[in-house]
Amino acid sequence: MSAKSKKKTWMWVGIGAGAFVVLAGGAYVGAYFVAGNQVPAHASAADVAIGGMSPTNAEELLRSEMEPTLSAPITINADSGTAQIVPAEAGLGYDYAATIEAAGGGFSWHPSHIYRSLAGGDQVDMVLAVDEDQLRESVESEAATLRVEPTDATITLTEGVVETTEAVTGYAVEVDGTAAAVRDAFAAREAEVDAVGTEAEPDVTDAEVQAFRDGALAAAMTGNITLTSESGNIDLTEEEIAGALTITQEGDSFSVGYDGELLTELTADQLDDIDEGGPKNASYRFNDGSVVVVPGESGMAVTEDAVVDAFEQALAGESRTVALEATMEEPEFTTEEAERLKPREVIGEYSTRYPHAAYRNTNIGKAASIVNGTVLLPGETFSLNGTLGRRTAEAGWASGYVIDGGNLVRASGGGVSQAATTLFNAAFFAGFEDVEHKPHSLYFSRYPAGREATVYYGSVDLRFRNNTEYPAIIQGFTSPSSPGSQGSITYRVWSIPTYDRIESSDLVRSGYYSGSERVLSTANCEPQAPIQGFTVNYKRLFYKDGSLVKEEPFRWRYSAGDRITCA
* Whole-number pLDDT of residue 9: 53
Residue 561 lies in a domain: no
Q: Which of 485, 504, 523 is the last residue of a domain?
A: 504
CB 394 within 8 A of CB 515: no
Please check whether residue 197 lies inside any domain of the structure: no
Q: CA 424, CA 429: separation in Å to the nearest integer?
A: 9
3-state secondary structure labels for all residues of 46-73: CCEECCCCCHHHHHHHHHHHHHHHHHCC
* Nearest Cα to Cα of residue 495 among 364, 345, 389: 345
In-domain check, residue 14: no
Question: Domain with 239 in it: what CATH number?
Answer: 3.10.20.800
Check if the beta carbon of residue 102 is closer than 8 Å to that of residue 143. Answer: no
- Looking at the fold, whether 297 and 353 belong to one and the same domain comes out as no
Which of residues 281, 312, 334 is at a domain's end? 334
- The reply to whether 560 falls in a domain is no
Question: What residue type is assigned to position 172 of the chain?
Answer: A
Do 362 and 483 sit in the same domain of this protein? yes
Instruction: Evaluate whether residue 389 is within a structural domain.
Output: yes
| Judgement on whether residues 325 and 373 belong to the same structural domain of the protein | no
Strands 321-323 vs 225-228: parallel, antiparallel or unpaired: parallel
pLDDT at residue 452, as a whole number:
96
Q: Is residue 235 part of a domain?
A: yes
Residues 361 and 488 in one domain: yes
Domain total in the chain: 3
CA distance 54 to 40: 9
Q: CB–CB of 73/92 below 8 Å?
A: no
Comparing CA positions, the residue from 312, 302, 311, 299 lying closest to residue 232 is: 302
Query: Is residue 429 domain-shared with residue 466, that is, in the same domain?
Result: yes
Supply the range of the domain harboring residue 291: 207-334
Rounded to a whole number, what is the distance in angstroms from the first to the last CA of the chain?
A: 184
H or E stretch at 76: strand 74-78
Q: Does residue 42 sit in the same domain as residue 111?
A: yes
- Give 246's strand partners: 257
Burial state string for 431-467 with b = 16 or more CB within 10 A and e = fewer than 16: bbebebbbbbbbbbeebbbbbbbbbbbeebbbbbbbe
**Ranges of the chain whose pLDDT falls below 70:** 1-37, 106-121, 401-413
Residue 356 sits in the same domain as residue 426: yes
Do 490 and 359 lie in a common domain?
A: yes
Q: Are residues 30 and 113 in the same domain?
A: yes
The pairing of strands 283-287 and 253-258 is: unpaired
pLDDT of residue 285: 96
Same domain, 213 and 241: yes
| Helical residues (DSSP H) of 152-276, grouped into ranges | 175-187, 206-212, 218-221, 238-244, 260-273
Q: Which of 504, 520, 542 is the last residue of a domain?
A: 504
Residue 519 has a pLDDT of 87
Q: Do 303 and 398 sit in the same domain of this protein?
A: no
Q: What is the pTM of this model?
A: 0.59
CA dihedral 351, 354, 356, 359 (to 10 degrees): -90
